[in-house]
């Protein structure tokens, strides 16, 4: 299935999904005659979310869709034309609105494919093109990539805790940040490794398998629990999972077994039971024993109730017999980290006389917040098994030296020479050339499979939740020297 647009929820146009300042800057660039100066921006985050050791890149297909549809409709222009400054004059003059009407997307875009594991400071996207256009992409690209990457990473962590065999169902829509948050979260959660969603729109839109059980209200709507189970089994004789905790969980399991026997007599099998409260370790062990004794060793045990990766890990350590995890709130809201702080920074600007590049840098008191100049590529070095060993950021606008050395940008005394025979791949791939898409996008299921391979290829020390090992991401030495000199040049040198 083709990645369908997020558009549609908020018809008719999405090009106004932006912050006002992007448009005021665009007008200013146009007024200055700078609109077509070639610029390079990088989109990257600084720290992996959840105090983890990695992130799973996500959102590219949605970003591509948004960029392909980038244009201002008559309605958009009418609205922009109606905006007034504080003295009552039009914020944007008619000539500029006309310019926006005619504007065609002509940027070059490179991106790291969805599902790839990524680390702090690595550009997930690189946009090169006319300054005004590249600026106008900022907000939407960040909105898409920050949330998708955050949720895909959370899902990958939940997969890590559950292990490769267990089923993971995403149940979060009711707790999501609005319809769009729910839809986007279901997509990213699937990409990051869940098996199915209860979100029907996400199933329709993205081809994600839809699954579910039933609610307490179903049981409460009948005179007793066995009658409710029997009625559900009648409706879905081969697709029933009974929620057993409405009154008394283990009594509920016995009722489920009673109905499962009747189903079997009619040639059907109970799919599973669901536990949604109480001590899930104890109850799942007891439920497993009751089901096994009664001859239902294949009946699955689903658990839900505010679960997340650390709880799953703990339940497994406690010997829980849960094989299917229903995860809602904690996953779709990325409960313990509200947002990924990805940024979009200008890194190069063609000189006004077109004689070459000016590499640009955003200074900060904190070195981690000081940006990296250049037209960057990410090179991933791998070992003989294809496992990532270290990444190198380098400036593609400058020739690479013969002997490559990775330098830790936060501690230049930490350096690693690169063996000349080391295998590597370049992570940023061309997506748009002069506004035309040149990359065939993988399906969501393909990106999901890629994500699982990628996470598995990481050393367990980087995947663990508690104090993960820091994966080495270095600047190529000449880039690091260039950046340090640029920092020294830009930073005011105040006398002591």
Ligand X SMILES: O=C(O)c1cccnc1
What does the binding site for ligand PRP look like in residue numbers (CB under 6 A)?
A: 171, 174-175, 276, 304-307, 326-330
What's the residue count for the chain? 496
Closer CB to ligand X, residue 175 or residue 362? 175
Enumerate the H helices of 272-350 as residue ranges: 280-293, 309-317, 329-332
Could you tell me the smallest distance in angstroms from the CB atom of residue 308 to ligand PRP? 8
Q: Based on the shown chain and the rule CB under 6 A, indicate whether residue 213 belongs to the binding site for ligand X.
A: yes
Closer CB to ligand PRP, residue 96 or residue 242? 242
For residues 153-182, which are near ligand X according to CB under 6 A?
A: 171
Coil, helix or strand for 79?
helix
Q: Which of 81, 207, 212, 472 binds ligand X (CB under 6 A)?
A: 212
Closer CB to ligand X, residue 121 or residue 198? 198
Structure tokens at 226: 């066995």
* Partner from ligand ATP, ligand PRP, ligand X, none contacting 68, C-beta within 5 to 8 A by type: none
Closer CB to ligand PRP, residue 304 or residue 371? 304
Coil, helix or strand for 130?
strand
Could you tell me the smallest distance in angstroms from the CB atom of residue 305 to ligand ATP? 4
Closer CB to ligand PRP, residue 125 or residue 302? 302
For residues 279-308, which are near ligand X according to CB under 6 A?
A: 304
* Partner from ligand PRP, ligand X, ligand ATP, none contacting 314, C-beta within 5 to 8 A by type: ligand ATP
DSSP string, 215-270: -HHHHHTSSSHHHHHHHHHHH-TTS-EEE--SS-HHHHHHHHHHHHHHHHHTT---
* Partner from ligand PRP, ligand ATP, ligand X, none contacting 329, C-beta within 5 to 8 A by type: ligand PRP
* Partner from ligand X, ligand PRP, ligand ATP, none contacting 198, C-beta within 5 to 8 A by type: ligand X
| All residues at 6 or more sequence positions from 224 whose CB lies less than 8 Å from its CB, including other chains | none
Site string for ligand X, 304-343 (x = CB under 6 A): x---------------------x-x---------------
CB 105, CB 71: distance < 8 Å: yes
Question: Cα torsion at 259, 263, 265, 266 (round to 10°)?
Answer: 150
- Please report, as ranges, the residues that interact with ligand ATP according to CB under 6 A: 277-281, 305-307, 311, 314-315, 318
> Tokens 């090169």 label which residue?
128
# residues near ligand X by CB under 6 A:
7
As a whole number of angstroms, the distance between CA 302 and CA 284 comes to 9
Q: Based on the shown chain and the rule CB under 6 A, indicate whether residue 203 belongs to the binding site for ligand X.
A: no
Closer CB to ligand PRP, residue 103 or residue 332? 332
Question: Cα torsion at 429, 435, 436, 442 (round to 10°)?
Answer: 40
DSSP string, 445-464: HHHHHHHHHHHHHS-HHHH-
CB 82, CB 23: distance < 8 Å: no
CB 274, CB 241: distance < 8 Å: yes
Q: Based on the shown chain and the rule CB under 6 A, indicate whether residue 146 belongs to the binding site for ligand X.
A: no
Closer CB to ligand PRP, residue 124 or residue 183? 183
Q: Based on the shown chain and the rule CB under 6 A, indicate whether residue 395 belongs to the binding site for ligand X.
A: no
> Tokens 């598995």 label which residue?
456
Q: Based on the shown chain and the rule CB under 6 A, indicate whether residue 197 belongs to the binding site for ligand X.
A: no
Closer CB to ligand ATP, residue 315 or residue 346? 315
Residue 359's nearest CA partner among 393, 412, 397 is 397
Q: Based on the shown chain and the rule CB under 6 A, indicate whether residue 5 belongs to the binding site for ligand X.
A: no
On the 0-12 / 13-18 / 19+ scale of CB atoms within 10 A, 46 is middle
The residues binding ligand X (CB under 6 A) are 171, 198, 212-213, 304, 326, 328
């Amino acid at each position: 299935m083709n990645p369908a647009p997020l558009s549609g929820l908020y018809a008719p146009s999405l090009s106004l999904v932006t912050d006002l300042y992007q448009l005021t800057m665009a007008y200013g660039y146009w007024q200055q005659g700078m609109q077509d100066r070639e610029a390079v921006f990088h989109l990257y985050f600084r720290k992996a979310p959840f105090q983890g050791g990695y992130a799973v890149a996500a959102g590219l297909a949605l970003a591509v869709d948004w960029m392909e549809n980038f244009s201002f409709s008559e309605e958009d222009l009418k609205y922009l034309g109606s905006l007034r400054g504080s003295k009552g004059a039009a914020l944007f003059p008619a000539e500029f609105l006309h310019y926006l009407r005619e504007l065609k997307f002509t940027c070059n875009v490179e991106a790291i494919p969805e599902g790839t594991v990524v680390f702090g400071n690595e550009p997930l996207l690189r946009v090169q093109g006319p300054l005004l256009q590249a600026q106008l992409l900022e907000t939407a690209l960040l909105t898409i990539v920050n949330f998708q990457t955050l949720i895909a990473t959370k899902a990958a962590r939940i997969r890590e805790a559950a292990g490769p065999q267990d089923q993971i169902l995403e149940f979060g829509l009711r707790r999501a940040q609005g319809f769009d948050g729910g839809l986007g979260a279901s997509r990213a959660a699937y990409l990051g490794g869940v098996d199915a969603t209860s979100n029907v729109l996400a199933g329709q839109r993205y081809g994600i398998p839809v699954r579910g059980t039933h609610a307490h209200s179903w049981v409460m709507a009948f005179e007793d629990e066995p009658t409710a189970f029997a009625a559900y089994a009648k409706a879905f004789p081969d697709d029933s999972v009974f929620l057993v905790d409405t009154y008394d969980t283990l009594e509920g399991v016995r009722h489920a077994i009673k109905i499962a026997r009747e189903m079997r007599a009619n040639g059907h099998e109970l799919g599973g039971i669901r536990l949604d409260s109480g001590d899930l370790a104890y109850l799942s062990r007891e439920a497993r024993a009751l089901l096994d004794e009664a001859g239902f060793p294949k009946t699955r045990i689903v658990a839900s109730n505010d679960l997340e990766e650390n709880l799953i890990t703990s339940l497994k350590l406690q010997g829980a017999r849960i094989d299917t995890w229903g995860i809602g709130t904690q996953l779709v809201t990325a409960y313990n980290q509200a947002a990924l702080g990805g940024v979009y920074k200008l890194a190069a600007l063609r000189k006004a006389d077109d004689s070459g590049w000016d590499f640009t840098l955003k200074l900060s008191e904190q070195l981690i917040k000081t940006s990296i100049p250049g037209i960057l590529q990410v090179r991933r070095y791998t070992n003989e098994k294809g496992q990532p060993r270290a990444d190198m950021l380098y400036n593609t606008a400058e020739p690479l030296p013969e002997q490559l050395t990775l330098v830790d940008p936060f501690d230049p005394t930490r350096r690693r020479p690169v063996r000349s025979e080391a295998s590597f791949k370049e992570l940023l791939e061309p997506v748009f050339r002069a506004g035309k898409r040149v990359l065939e996008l993988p399906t969501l299921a393909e990106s999901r499979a890629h994500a699982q391979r990628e996470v598995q290829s990481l050393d367990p020390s980087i995947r663990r939740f508690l104090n993960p090992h820091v994966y080495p991401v270095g600047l190529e030495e000449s880039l690091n020297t260039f950046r340090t000199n640029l920092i020294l040049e830009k930073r005011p040198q105040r006398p002591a």
